[in-house]
Homo-oligomer: A and B are copies of this chain.
Amino acid sequence: MSRQAPSPRTQMRRGAQRADYAPETVRGILAEGSICHVAFSDGGQAHVIPTAYGLLGDEICIHGSTANRVLRGLAKGADACLEVTLVDGLVLARSAFHHSMNYRSAILYGRARVVDDPAEKLDAMRALIDHLIPGRWDDVRAPNPEEFARTLVLALPVDEASAKVRTGPPVEEEEDYATPCWAGVLPLETVAGAPVADDRLVHGVELPGYVSDRTRVAGGSE
């Protein structure tokens, strides 16, 4: 765990005991998340959108249509702020005041660059698909030239980042422990349910292992 912020804007003021600036903590959160929340400012008005992402080297990649105004704004070099949060549980204290959540969040600052180089852009597209579900890229049709051209891929460095992590039971005022009130943590988890096959599946096509494994590991019904 690192308590040293990489920059003034990542330095946490409140809740500093939950701050962690270690790159491996940030990367662990990014590896586990499925969507990020990207914010940027346009004439003093902030905008935030949810979007899928992938990880490639020391960067986080997002993508979308070349006509997407948010991506185009980011591509012009707007200062971006990107956040990924995993909610791990509800922290139910004996007092209203000490209710909380167990969570892991990462907040990144930086400017996006357009991924233009064709080989690197294809790598980023693969990273995006394989972040969604590892192993998928090799099974699907790669982008054709038109799809490739219509996709804008942006990359942001992940080095100017902070993580914030809360774990464990509620922390109460000492006098509240005597209260006959149930307290503890209700763990939350995102799980995969039974896969729903497309109606027009070619006859005999089987469910890939990387989909069935995910369902089983996650404890979903089958």
Contacts and interface: CB of A to CB of B under 8 A. Distances in A.
B185 A101 contact: no
Contacts of A67: 13-14
Contacts of A65: 14
Given A184-B198, A198-B184, A202-B180, A45 B41 contact: yes
A39 B99 CA distance: 23
Contacts of A178: 202
Contacts of A69: 13-14
Interface of A is mostly: mixed
Taken together, the copies of this chain in the complex come to 2
Interface string A51-94: 01000000000001101110000000011111101010110111
Interface stretch (A20-28, A113-121, A153-161, A203-211): A203-211
A192 B188 contact: yes
Nearest to A175: B141
B196 A187 contact: yes
A92 B126 CA distance: 14
B186 A195 contact: yes
A107 B48 contact: yes
A197 B211 contact: no
A198 B186 contact: no
B96 A125 contact: yes
Given A39-B46, A49-B107, 8 more contacts: A9-B45, A37-B50, A89-B196, A90-B132, A95-B147, A101-B132, A177-B200, A184-B198
